[in-house]
Structure 1
Amino acid sequence: MSSLKAHSQTLYDTDYLQWIETTVEKLQSHDYANVDWEKLIEEIADVGRSERRSLKSNLIVILVHLLKCQFQPEKRSGSWEGSIIEHRRRVKEALDDSPSLKSYLENIFIECYAQAVKQAKAETGLSVESFPVVCPYQLLEVTNDEFLPQ
Protein backbone atom coordinates (compact mmCIF):
# COMPACT_ATOMS: atom_id res chain seq x y z
CA MET A 1 0.00 0.00 0.00
CA SER A 2 1.38 3.40 -0.94
CA SER A 3 2.04 5.98 1.74
CA LEU A 4 -0.54 8.24 0.11
CA LYS A 5 -3.18 5.53 0.49
CA ALA A 6 -2.15 4.91 4.11
CA HIS A 7 -2.40 8.66 4.75
CA SER A 8 -5.85 8.72 3.14
CA GLN A 9 -7.12 5.92 5.38
CA THR A 10 -5.74 7.67 8.42
CA LEU A 11 -7.26 10.92 7.24
CA TYR A 12 -10.64 9.20 6.86
CA ASP A 13 -10.50 8.19 10.52
CA THR A 14 -9.17 11.49 11.86
CA ASP A 15 -10.72 14.22 9.68
CA TYR A 16 -13.64 13.06 7.60
CA LEU A 17 -14.26 16.41 5.87
CA GLN A 18 -10.63 16.74 4.87
CA TRP A 19 -10.74 13.14 3.57
CA ILE A 20 -13.72 14.09 1.38
CA GLU A 21 -12.00 17.24 0.09
CA THR A 22 -8.78 15.34 -0.61
CA THR A 23 -10.70 12.58 -2.40
CA VAL A 24 -12.56 15.13 -4.54
CA GLU A 25 -9.23 16.80 -5.45
CA LYS A 26 -7.78 13.42 -6.46
CA LEU A 27 -10.79 12.66 -8.63
CA GLN A 28 -10.75 16.10 -10.24
CA SER A 29 -7.04 15.81 -11.03
CA HIS A 30 -7.54 12.25 -12.34
CA ASP A 31 -5.22 10.87 -9.64
CA TYR A 32 -7.23 7.65 -9.58
CA ALA A 33 -4.37 5.48 -8.36
CA ASN A 34 -4.39 7.28 -5.00
CA VAL A 35 -8.14 7.27 -4.40
CA ASP A 36 -9.28 5.04 -1.56
CA TRP A 37 -11.89 3.32 -3.69
CA GLU A 38 -13.10 0.98 -0.97
CA LYS A 39 -13.98 3.84 1.41
CA LEU A 40 -15.38 5.96 -1.42
CA ILE A 41 -17.72 3.15 -2.52
CA GLU A 42 -18.84 2.65 1.09
CA GLU A 43 -19.54 6.36 1.44
CA ILE A 44 -21.58 6.51 -1.77
CA ALA A 45 -23.65 3.52 -0.63
CA ASP A 46 -24.14 5.19 2.77
CA VAL A 47 -25.47 8.33 1.10
CA GLY A 48 -28.23 6.29 -0.52
CA ARG A 49 -29.13 4.62 2.76
CA SER A 50 -29.11 7.98 4.51
CA GLU A 51 -31.48 9.48 1.92
CA ARG A 52 -33.91 6.59 2.41
CA ARG A 53 -33.72 6.81 6.22
CA SER A 54 -34.37 10.54 6.10
CA LEU A 55 -37.35 10.12 3.80
CA LYS A 56 -38.80 7.42 6.05
CA SER A 57 -38.30 9.53 9.17
CA ASN A 58 -39.98 12.57 7.58
CA LEU A 59 -42.94 10.47 6.44
CA ILE A 60 -43.41 9.05 9.95
CA VAL A 61 -43.39 12.55 11.47
CA ILE A 62 -46.07 13.71 9.02
CA LEU A 63 -48.22 10.68 9.77
CA VAL A 64 -47.84 11.11 13.55
CA HIS A 65 -48.99 14.71 13.38
CA LEU A 66 -51.88 13.91 11.03
CA LEU A 67 -53.04 11.23 13.47
CA LYS A 68 -52.72 13.60 16.41
CA CYS A 69 -54.68 16.28 14.53
CA GLN A 70 -57.44 13.84 13.67
CA PHE A 71 -57.69 11.90 16.92
CA GLN A 72 -56.93 14.68 19.40
CA PRO A 73 -58.42 17.69 17.61
CA GLU A 74 -58.92 19.56 20.88
CA LYS A 75 -55.13 19.65 21.27
CA ARG A 76 -54.40 20.64 17.68
CA SER A 77 -51.68 23.25 17.66
CA GLY A 78 -49.78 25.43 15.28
CA SER A 79 -46.63 23.52 16.07
CA TRP A 80 -48.22 20.30 14.77
CA GLU A 81 -49.25 22.00 11.54
CA GLY A 82 -45.84 23.68 11.30
CA SER A 83 -44.17 20.30 11.67
CA ILE A 84 -46.38 18.81 8.97
CA ILE A 85 -45.47 21.65 6.59
CA GLU A 86 -41.74 21.34 7.36
CA HIS A 87 -41.62 17.56 6.89
CA ARG A 88 -43.73 17.69 3.73
CA ARG A 89 -41.22 20.19 2.37
CA ARG A 90 -38.38 17.80 3.18
CA VAL A 91 -40.17 14.90 1.48
CA LYS A 92 -40.88 17.05 -1.59
CA GLU A 93 -37.24 18.19 -1.80
CA ALA A 94 -36.00 14.60 -1.49
CA LEU A 95 -38.35 13.47 -4.27
CA ASP A 96 -37.40 16.45 -6.46
CA ASP A 97 -33.71 15.63 -6.01
CA SER A 98 -34.18 11.87 -6.42
CA PRO A 99 -37.43 10.94 -8.19
CA SER A 100 -36.48 7.25 -7.86
CA LEU A 101 -37.28 7.56 -4.14
CA LYS A 102 -41.00 7.74 -5.01
CA SER A 103 -41.28 3.97 -5.40
CA TYR A 104 -39.38 3.52 -2.11
CA LEU A 105 -41.86 5.87 -0.42
CA GLU A 106 -44.78 3.84 -1.78
CA ASN A 107 -43.16 0.60 -0.57
CA ILE A 108 -42.58 1.82 3.00
CA PHE A 109 -45.88 3.65 3.46
CA ILE A 110 -47.66 0.84 5.37
CA GLU A 111 -44.61 0.24 7.58
CA CYS A 112 -44.33 3.96 8.31
CA TYR A 113 -47.99 4.12 9.26
CA ALA A 114 -47.51 1.29 11.77
CA GLN A 115 -44.55 3.16 13.29
CA ALA A 116 -46.55 6.40 13.35
CA VAL A 117 -49.41 4.72 15.24
CA LYS A 118 -46.97 3.52 17.92
CA GLN A 119 -45.52 6.99 18.26
CA ALA A 120 -48.91 8.73 18.21
CA LYS A 121 -50.09 6.35 20.96
CA ALA A 122 -47.07 7.29 23.08
CA GLU A 123 -47.47 11.02 22.47
CA THR A 124 -51.24 11.23 22.94
CA GLY A 125 -51.83 8.67 25.66
CA LEU A 126 -54.62 7.19 23.53
CA SER A 127 -54.84 3.42 23.19
CA VAL A 128 -53.52 1.83 20.04
CA GLU A 129 -57.11 0.74 19.31
CA SER A 130 -58.03 4.44 18.97
CA PHE A 131 -56.25 4.52 15.63
CA PRO A 132 -57.34 2.71 12.45
CA VAL A 133 -55.46 -0.50 11.65
CA VAL A 134 -55.23 0.60 8.02
CA CYS A 135 -53.94 4.08 7.25
CA PRO A 136 -56.91 6.41 6.75
CA TYR A 137 -54.88 8.62 4.40
CA GLN A 138 -53.59 8.10 0.90
CA LEU A 139 -49.94 8.83 0.19
CA LEU A 140 -50.98 11.70 -2.09
CA GLU A 141 -52.94 13.25 0.78
CA VAL A 142 -50.08 12.82 3.24
CA THR A 143 -47.73 14.70 0.92
CA ASN A 144 -50.30 17.29 -0.21
CA ASP A 145 -49.67 20.71 1.34
CA GLU A 146 -53.40 21.44 1.54
CA PHE A 147 -54.51 18.24 3.29
CA LEU A 148 -55.35 18.08 6.97
CA PRO A 149 -57.72 15.45 8.38
CA GLN A 150 -61.10 16.56 9.69
Structure 2
Amino acid sequence: MIANQTPTAISHRELYEQDFCLWVEQALVLLREGNLTDLDLENLLEEIADMSNSQKQALESNLKILLMHLLKYQYQPEKRTNSWRYTIIEHRQRIHRAFKNSPSLKRHFLQEFTDVYLEARKLAAVETGISIDTFPIASPFTTSQVLDEDYLPE
Protein backbone atom coordinates (compact mmCIF):
# COMPACT_ATOMS: atom_id res chain seq x y z
CA MET A 1 0.00 0.00 0.00
CA ILE A 2 1.24 3.47 -0.87
CA ALA A 3 1.54 5.97 1.98
CA ASN A 4 -1.53 8.20 2.42
CA GLN A 5 -3.64 5.87 0.29
CA THR A 6 -6.91 4.72 1.87
CA PRO A 7 -7.43 0.96 1.68
CA THR A 8 -10.25 -0.04 -0.59
CA ALA A 9 -13.28 -1.14 1.37
CA ILE A 10 -14.26 -4.68 0.53
CA SER A 11 -17.47 -6.42 1.31
CA HIS A 12 -17.77 -8.95 4.07
CA ARG A 13 -18.38 -11.59 1.39
CA GLU A 14 -15.16 -10.70 -0.47
CA LEU A 15 -13.23 -10.80 2.79
CA TYR A 16 -14.19 -14.46 3.19
CA GLU A 17 -11.89 -15.39 0.30
CA GLN A 18 -9.02 -13.15 1.43
CA ASP A 19 -8.75 -13.46 5.22
CA PHE A 20 -10.89 -16.01 7.02
CA CYS A 21 -9.97 -14.92 10.57
CA LEU A 22 -10.75 -11.29 9.82
CA TRP A 23 -13.99 -12.42 8.14
CA VAL A 24 -15.00 -14.20 11.39
CA GLU A 25 -14.13 -11.15 13.48
CA GLN A 26 -16.16 -8.89 11.21
CA ALA A 27 -19.07 -11.34 11.26
CA LEU A 28 -19.12 -11.10 15.06
CA VAL A 29 -19.08 -7.30 14.93
CA LEU A 30 -21.85 -7.20 12.32
CA LEU A 31 -23.98 -9.65 14.30
CA ARG A 32 -23.48 -7.77 17.56
CA GLU A 33 -24.50 -4.56 15.80
CA GLY A 34 -27.52 -6.28 14.28
CA ASN A 35 -26.21 -5.36 10.83
CA LEU A 36 -27.55 -8.22 8.75
CA THR A 37 -27.43 -6.17 5.56
CA ASP A 38 -23.63 -6.21 5.32
CA LEU A 39 -23.27 -9.72 6.76
CA ASP A 40 -22.11 -12.52 4.46
CA LEU A 41 -25.00 -14.72 5.51
CA GLU A 42 -24.48 -17.41 2.86
CA ASN A 43 -20.94 -18.25 3.95
CA LEU A 44 -21.84 -17.83 7.63
CA LEU A 45 -24.56 -20.46 7.34
CA GLU A 46 -22.16 -22.78 5.54
CA GLU A 47 -19.53 -22.33 8.24
CA ILE A 48 -22.05 -23.06 10.99
CA ALA A 49 -23.11 -26.26 9.21
CA ASP A 50 -19.44 -27.21 8.82
CA MET A 51 -18.89 -26.78 12.55
CA SER A 52 -21.52 -29.42 13.26
CA ASN A 53 -20.12 -31.75 10.60
CA SER A 54 -16.63 -31.33 12.01
CA GLN A 55 -17.80 -32.38 15.48
CA LYS A 56 -19.55 -35.43 14.02
CA GLN A 57 -16.48 -36.43 12.01
CA ALA A 58 -14.26 -36.13 15.08
CA LEU A 59 -16.66 -38.33 17.05
CA GLU A 60 -16.67 -40.95 14.30
CA SER A 61 -12.87 -40.89 14.10
CA ASN A 62 -12.51 -41.40 17.85
CA LEU A 63 -15.08 -44.19 17.80
CA LYS A 64 -13.34 -45.93 14.89
CA ILE A 65 -9.98 -45.89 16.66
CA LEU A 66 -11.59 -47.09 19.89
CA LEU A 67 -13.42 -49.96 18.18
CA MET A 68 -10.32 -50.97 16.23
CA HIS A 69 -8.29 -51.18 19.44
CA LEU A 70 -11.01 -53.11 21.24
CA LEU A 71 -10.98 -55.62 18.38
CA LYS A 72 -7.20 -55.89 18.48
CA TYR A 73 -7.34 -56.28 22.26
CA GLN A 74 -9.90 -59.08 22.00
CA TYR A 75 -8.43 -60.97 19.05
CA GLN A 76 -4.73 -60.59 19.82
CA PRO A 77 -4.50 -61.21 23.58
CA GLU A 78 -0.85 -62.23 23.26
CA LYS A 79 0.04 -58.81 21.85
CA ARG A 80 -1.80 -56.62 24.37
CA THR A 81 0.21 -53.60 25.41
CA ASN A 82 -0.15 -50.63 27.69
CA SER A 83 -0.17 -48.54 24.52
CA TRP A 84 -3.39 -50.22 23.38
CA ARG A 85 -5.00 -49.67 26.78
CA TYR A 86 -3.84 -46.04 26.69
CA THR A 87 -5.43 -45.56 23.25
CA ILE A 88 -8.68 -47.15 24.42
CA ILE A 89 -8.82 -44.87 27.47
CA GLU A 90 -7.85 -41.75 25.52
CA HIS A 91 -10.49 -42.19 22.82
CA ARG A 92 -13.18 -43.02 25.35
CA GLN A 93 -12.30 -39.80 27.14
CA ARG A 94 -12.52 -37.86 23.88
CA ILE A 95 -15.96 -39.33 23.17
CA HIS A 96 -17.20 -38.59 26.69
CA ARG A 97 -15.89 -35.01 26.41
CA ALA A 98 -17.69 -34.62 23.08
CA PHE A 99 -20.94 -35.82 24.70
CA LYS A 100 -20.42 -33.42 27.60
CA ASN A 101 -19.90 -30.47 25.25
CA SER A 102 -22.64 -31.50 22.80
CA PRO A 103 -25.09 -34.03 24.28
CA SER A 104 -26.87 -34.32 20.92
CA LEU A 105 -23.80 -36.12 19.55
CA LYS A 106 -24.92 -39.21 21.48
CA ARG A 107 -27.72 -39.61 18.94
CA HIS A 108 -25.18 -39.42 16.09
CA PHE A 109 -22.98 -41.96 17.90
CA LEU A 110 -25.89 -44.41 18.05
CA GLN A 111 -26.91 -43.79 14.42
CA GLU A 112 -23.40 -44.30 13.04
CA PHE A 113 -22.18 -47.04 15.39
CA THR A 114 -22.75 -49.95 12.98
CA ASP A 115 -21.14 -48.25 9.98
CA VAL A 116 -18.16 -47.05 12.02
CA TYR A 117 -17.73 -50.56 13.44
CA LEU A 118 -17.52 -51.98 9.90
CA GLU A 119 -14.79 -49.45 9.06
CA ALA A 120 -12.92 -50.30 12.28
CA ARG A 121 -13.25 -54.01 11.49
CA LYS A 122 -11.54 -53.52 8.15
CA LEU A 123 -8.78 -51.39 9.67
CA ALA A 124 -8.20 -53.95 12.42
CA ALA A 125 -7.85 -56.69 9.82
CA VAL A 126 -5.32 -54.67 7.83
CA GLU A 127 -3.31 -53.62 10.88
CA THR A 128 -3.20 -57.07 12.49
CA GLY A 129 -2.90 -59.15 9.35
CA ILE A 130 -5.79 -61.26 10.63
CA SER A 131 -8.41 -62.25 8.06
CA ILE A 132 -11.36 -59.88 8.11
CA ASP A 133 -13.63 -62.94 8.34
CA THR A 134 -12.24 -63.56 11.84
CA PHE A 135 -13.93 -60.40 13.05
CA PRO A 136 -17.73 -60.61 13.34
CA ILE A 137 -19.81 -58.55 10.92
CA ALA A 138 -21.90 -57.25 13.82
CA SER A 139 -20.04 -55.53 16.62
CA PRO A 140 -19.20 -57.91 19.46
CA PHE A 141 -19.33 -54.87 21.76
CA THR A 142 -22.47 -53.08 22.85
CA THR A 143 -22.52 -49.31 22.81
CA SER A 144 -22.57 -49.42 26.61
CA GLN A 145 -19.44 -51.56 26.71
CA VAL A 146 -17.67 -49.28 24.24
CA LEU A 147 -18.40 -46.27 26.45
CA ASP A 148 -17.70 -48.05 29.76
CA GLU A 149 -14.34 -46.73 30.97
CA ASP A 150 -13.61 -49.99 32.80
CA TYR A 151 -14.60 -52.44 30.06
CA LEU A 152 -11.94 -54.42 28.24
CA PRO A 153 -12.75 -57.54 26.23
CA GLU A 154 -11.09 -60.50 27.90
Normalization by structure 2: what TM-score?
0.89
2:103 maps to which residue?
99
Partners of 2:146 and 2:34 in 1: CA distance:
45
In the aligned structure 1, how far is the partner of 2:22 from the partner of 2:79? 48
Q: Quick one: which amino acid aligns to residue 41 of structure 1?
A: L
Alignment partner, residue 90 of structure 2: 86
Q: Hey, what does 1:30 align to over in structure 2?
A: 34
Deviation, structure 1 residue 126: 0.4
Q: Supply the distance in 1 between the matched residues of 2:16 and 2:112 (Cα, whole angstroms).
A: 33
Residue 58 of structure 2, aligned match among 44, 54, 60? 54
Where does structure 1 lack aligned partners over 5 or more consecutive residues?
A: none
Of 5, 8, 12, the residue aligned with 2:12 is 8
Task: Tell me by how many angstroms 1:9 deviates.
Answer: 2.4
CA distance in 2, matches of 1:46, 1:144: 30
Q: Normalising by structure 1, what TM-score?
A: 0.91
Q: How many residues align?
A: 147
RMSD: 1.5
| Paired AA for residue 39 in structure 2 | V
Q: Taking every aligned residue pair, what percent have the same amino acid on both sides?
A: 40
Higher-Rg member (1/2): 2
Determine which of 109, 112, 116 is the counterpart of 1:112.
116
Q: Does 1:73 align with 2:66?
A: no
Alpha-carbon contact 2:11-2:38 (below 8 Å) kept:
no
What amino acid maps onto 1:141 in structure 2? Q
Residue 36 of structure 1: how far off its partner (Å): 0.4
Letter in 2 for 1:44: I
- Deviation per CA, 1:15-72: give whole Å up to 9, x if none: 2112111111111122221110000001111111111111111111100000011111
Deviation track 1:51-106 (CA, whole Å, cap 9, x = no partner) reads: 11111111111000000111111111222111111111111111112211212111
Normalized per residue, the structure richer in helix is: 1
